[in-house]
Amino acid sequence: MILNRDFFEGKDSLTLAKDLLGKVLVHKTSEGTLKGIITETEAYSQDEESCHAYGGKKTNRTKVMFEKPGHLYVYFTYGMHYCCNIVSEEEGKGCAVLLRSIEPLEGVNQMIQNRDYSKQNLKELSNGPAKLCQAMNIDKQLNNIDLINNSQIYIEDLDFQPEEIYNTTRIGISKAKDLNWRYYAKIKQN
DNA sequence: TCCGAGATTCACT
DNA sequence: GTGAATCTCGGAG
């Protein structure tokens, strides 16, 4: 089942971050279909400092975060990395959920090629926000795309249930570090 | 195994 | 001009 607007809209970012665990990110590329189970997310809201849209600050970069929930916010950072977010809550609020980690499900070979990855253990193939984007072939071109009513990239529910959900602090930020807004999950297959 | 630094582009001040 | 929601590699221990 492909998730529709109702899944993303009208719940706070923390709830959405938790609900996204176990869902499947699907990206159909010209090379083939890539799928990955979402295993780690972080919530961002305009009420706290580390959010790009903090205080409702709307700029060229962050304007996507004020779109309807379900839009993709892809931004570039550290000179060489992309990170991928899903807009949350409601239109005009400036909230989003950062996808931090996925478990490869389909198109693994292509992901390995995308990442120019030579190691054997797949655990490190996409266990970080920038790695995930590289593996899934997500870049700036997908910024501002709507995950609803779109056959190229979307989120699907394939009945994976998180066995356990852990709640802890966010990573790699310098402000509002003490908030427990990161979620990660152990997935079990039904 | 762990830690520190370099990479390198873009948006914002 | 500055620093960023990161990753990787090389050297030290």
Question: How far is C-alpha A71 from the geometric centre of its chain's CA atoms?
Answer: 11
Span A4-45, pLDDT tens digits: 999 999 999 999 999 999 999 999 999 999 999 999 999 999
pTM: 0.95
DSSP codes of every residue in chain A = -B--HHHHBTS-HHHHHHHHTT-EEEEEETTEEEEEEEEEEEEE-TTSTTSTTGGG---TTGGGGGS-TTBEEEEEETTTEEEEEEEEBSTTS-EEEEEEEEEEEE-HHHHHHHHT---S-GGGTS-SHHHHHHHHT--GGGTT-BSSS-SSEEEE---EEEEEEEEE---S-SSSTT---EEEEEEEE-
Residue pair A42/A132 in contact (Cβ under 8 Å)? The answer is no
Token pair, residue A40, equals: 């780690």
Whether A116 sits with its Cβ under 7 A from any strand C atom: the answer reads no
pLDDT above 90: residue A126: yes
CA-to-CA distance for A40 and A123, rounded, in angstroms?
13
Percent of chain A with pLDDT over 70: 98
Average pLDDT, chain A: 95
Whether A155 sits with its Cβ under 7 A from any strand C atom: the answer reads no
C1' of C2 to CA of A81 (Å) = 18
Span A176-186, pLDDT tens digits: 999 999 999 99
Single-letter amino acid code for the residue at A30: S
C1' of C9 to CA of A169 (Å) = 27
**Res. A189 pLDDT band, cuts 50 70 90:** low
User: How high is the pLDDT of residue A86?
Assistant: 98
Percent of chain A with pLDDT over 90: 93
CA-to-CA distance for A143 and A79, rounded, in angstroms?
17
Q: Which nucleotides of B are covered by protein (CB under 7 A)?
A: 7-13
Residues whose beta carbon sits under 7 Å from strand B: A 57, 59-62, 76-80
CA-to-CA distance for A41 and A102, rounded, in angstroms?
9
pLDDT above 90: residue A190: no
Span A144-174, pLDDT tens digits: 999 999 999 999 999 999 999 999 999 999 9
**Res. A100 pLDDT band, cuts 50 70 90:** very high
Q: Torsion angle, CA of A84/A88/A90/A93, rounded to 10 degrees? A: -60
pLDDT above 60: residue A116: yes
pLDDT above 60: residue A107: yes
Average the pLDDT over A74-101 and give the result: 97
Q: Which nucleotide is nearest to A65 (CA to C1')?
A: C5
Q: Which nucleotides of C are covered by protein (CB under 7 A)?
A: 4-8
C1' of B9 to CA of A79 (Å) = 4
CA-to-CA distance for A142 and A75, rounded, in angstroms?
10
pLDDT above 90: residue A188: no
Single-letter amino acid code for the residue at A36: G
User: How high is the pLDDT of residue A187?
Assistant: 84
Residue pair A144/A64 in contact (Cβ under 8 Å)? The answer is yes
C1' of C10 to CA of A158 (Å) = 42
User: How high is the pLDDT of residue A95?
Assistant: 97
Q: Which nucleotide is nearest to A62 (CA to C1')?
A: B11
